[in-house]
């Protein structure tokens, strides 16, 4: 998490629980880079698109913002990618509240996780926190199936997993919370194809067994998608980078209540969903 000093991996419940639903501003797959469009990926447009989303979040009031991964696209060098991350993050920093960064494969293809998170003043790669009686969990699936962390172009984007240690931490975090939980992750937990985790079934079992997770918010698959498996809703957000102009923007505001029910209001190309 940005803004506070150091986020512990299991923060205590925020004071003042109650009141209205938690409102979360969501941005996924901005892929910002200072380079020409490639097919429908319009990299430079992500700067004004993030500005528009942040302005909307600030004007209507959200409790915090979650950036769901692939904030940047690839550059020619470590320095260039660090510059891209700082540049796009300058727009996110306009939001005067907490910001949470989910690692995406493009964030940590050349850069290491620490390098990317430092450039965005982000926190740990994965952690949990409570807000107004809801538990929020940020996961990091940027690992090869042999559990080596992504970085320095050492991986194939079609191979991602959550290592055993992080799975154990996830079970523990869900055991400890007494709240309903929302999970954020870049890669998909709900499919077994190129976009899904190598150990998606293991992770789904952990989430379902807890009985506490109402929704998983994902990115990575640019068209976006929705699936329900067992009691859990899996929303794949549409990529912000797709298409030129602000008319093709895509971002969302999630409203979650302590009973786990939620509404996702989509803007631009992002669809809206009601999660019972």
Q: Of the ranges 36-44, 67-75, 166-174, 261-269, which one interacts with Zn ion (CB under 5 A)? A: 67-75
**Hey, how many other C-beta atoms are within 10 angstroms of the C-beta on 165?**
9
Between residues 70 and 166, which has the closer beta carbon with respect to Zn ion? 70
Please state the closest distance from residue 70 (CB atom) to Zn ion, in A. Answer: 4
Helices (H) and strands (E) in the chain, counts: 5, 12
State the number of CA atoms in the 13 A half-sphere of 266 facing the CB.
21
Among 63, 67, 70, 190, binds Zn ion (CB under 5 A): 70
Please state the closest distance from residue 233 (CB atom) to Zn ion, in A. Answer: 21
Q: Give residue number: closest CB to Zn ion.
A: 70
Q: Could you give the CA distance from residue 257 to residue 276 in angstroms, rounded to a whole number?
A: 11
Kindly state the tokens that stand for 165.
């240690």
Please state the closest distance from residue 218 (CB atom) to Zn ion, in A. Answer: 11
Q: Of the ranges 21-29, 44-52, 115-123, 151-159, which one interacts with Zn ion (CB under 5 A)? A: 21-29
Between residues 29 and 130, which has the closer beta carbon with respect to Zn ion? 29
Among 22, 29, 216, 232, binds Zn ion (CB under 5 A): 29
Q: Of the ranges 42-50, 69-77, 155-163, 207-215, which one interacts with Zn ion (CB under 5 A)? A: 69-77
Please state the closest distance from residue 31 (CB atom) to Zn ion, in A. Answer: 6
Q: Among residues 117, 174, 118, which one has the least CA distance to residue 142? A: 117
Q: Among residues 193, 180, 184, which one has the least CA distance to residue 235? A: 184
Radius of gyration of the chain (CA): 17
Q: Which residues bind to Zn ion, rule: CB under 5 A?
A: 29, 70
């Amino acid at each position: 998490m940005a803004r506070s000093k150091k986020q512990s991996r299991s923060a205590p419940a925020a004071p003042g629980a109650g009141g209205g639903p938690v409102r979360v501003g969501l941005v996924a797959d901005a892929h910002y880079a200072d380079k020409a469009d490639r097919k429908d990926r319009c990299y430079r447009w992500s700067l004004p698109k993030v500005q528009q989303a942040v302005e909307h979040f600030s004007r209507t009031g959200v409790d915090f913002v979650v950036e769901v991964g692939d904030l940047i696209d690839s550059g020619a060098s470590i320095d260039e990618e660090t510059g891209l991350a700082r540049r796009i993050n300058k727009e996110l920093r306009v939001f005067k509240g907490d910001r949470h960064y989910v690692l995406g494969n493009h964030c940590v293809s050349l850069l290491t996780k620490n390098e990317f998170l430092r450039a965005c003043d982000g926190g740990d790669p994965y952690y949990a926190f409570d807000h107004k009686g809801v538990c929020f969990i940020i996961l990091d699936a940027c690992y090869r199936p042999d559990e080596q962390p992504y970085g320095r172009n050492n991986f194939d984007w079609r191979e991602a997993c959550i290592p055993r240690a992080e799975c154990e931490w996830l079970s523990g975090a869900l055991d400890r919370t007494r709240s309903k939980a929302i999970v954020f992750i870049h890669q998909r937990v709900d499919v077994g194809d190129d976009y899904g985790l190598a150990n998606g079934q293991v992770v789904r079992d952990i989430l379902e067994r807890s009985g506490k997770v109402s929704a998983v918010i994902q990115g990575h698959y640019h068209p976006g998608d929705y699936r329900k498996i067992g009691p859990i809703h899996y929303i794949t957000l549409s990529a912000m980078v797709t298409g030129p102009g602000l008319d093709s923007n895509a971002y969302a505001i999630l409203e979650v209540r302590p009973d786990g029910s939620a509404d996702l209001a989509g803007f631009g190309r992002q669809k809206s969903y009601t999660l019972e």
